């Protein structure tokens, strides 16, 4: 949904900055970016000012995967906040819940999960680790610390 002033008055819209990774800055002609490597974490960003609408404020607006590329659902989980710190609990309890929600929403007969990340590290700590890996392994080493997502990937 394109943003305009009328939309801002109807919905909770927040001006923000989106960072898009600039793969040309670090790929050195390579077509593959290995997410999670030091080179990925140190990639330069193209910064774009925009307005983001909190879809929870858009009551009566129906977003669908087919039309909008995303679908907002409010589904309860059996996990509490602390459970998300335990990867085994997430795998055994949360992922089956998510797969059932996805099957119900899409009409799929089968769903498979691949992996999950728990992002708790500060951006500064990830940058420090990435700098050390760049010096020691040339940028191909995997960062062990995961930070909240700061950029989106475009090709």
Whole-angstrom Cα Rg for the chain: 19
Q: How far apart are CA 1 and CA 83, in angstroms?
A: 35
Establish if 47 belongs to a structural domain. Answer: yes
Q: How far apart are CA 11 and CA 9, in angstroms?
A: 6
Q: What is the pTM of this model?
A: 0.53
| pLDDT number for residue 60 | 66
| pLDDT number for residue 24 | 67
Q: DSSP string of 75-128?
A: ---S--GGGGG-HHHIIIIIHHHHHHHHHHHH--S-----------S-HHHHHH
Establish if 38 belongs to a structural domain. Answer: yes
Establish if 93 belongs to a structural domain. Answer: no
Establish if 80 belongs to a structural domain. Answer: no
Domain that holds residue 18: 5-74+119-137
Q: What is the pLDDT along the chain (155 residues), one digit of tens a residue?
A: 444 455 545 567 888 888 777 666 655 666 566 667 777 777 777 888 888 887 777 766 778 878 877 788 888 999 998 998 888 999 999 999 999 998 998 899 988 877 777 777 787 888 888 888 888 766 567 777 777 666 655 43
Establish if 153 belongs to a structural domain. Answer: no
């Amino acid at each position: 949904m394109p943003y305009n002033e009328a939309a801002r008055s109807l919905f909770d819209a927040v001006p923000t900055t989106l960072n898009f990774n600039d793969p040309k800055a670090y790929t050195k002609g390579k077509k593959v970016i290995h997410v999670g490597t030091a080179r990925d974490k140190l990639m330069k960003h193209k910064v774009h000012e925009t307005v983001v609408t909190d879809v929870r404020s858009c009551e009566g607006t129906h977003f669908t995967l087919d039309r909008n590329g995303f679908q907002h659902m409010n589904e309860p989980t059996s996990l509490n906040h602390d459970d998300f710190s335990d990867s085994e609990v997430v795998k055994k309890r949360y992922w089956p819940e998510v797969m059932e929600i996805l099957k119900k929403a899409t009409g799929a007969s089968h769903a498979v999960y691949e992996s999950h990340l728990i992002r708790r590290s500060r951006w500064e700590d990830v940058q420090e680790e990435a700098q050390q890996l760049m010096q020691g392994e040339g940028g191909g080493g995997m960062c062990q610390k995961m930070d909240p997502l700061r950029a989106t990937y475009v090709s």
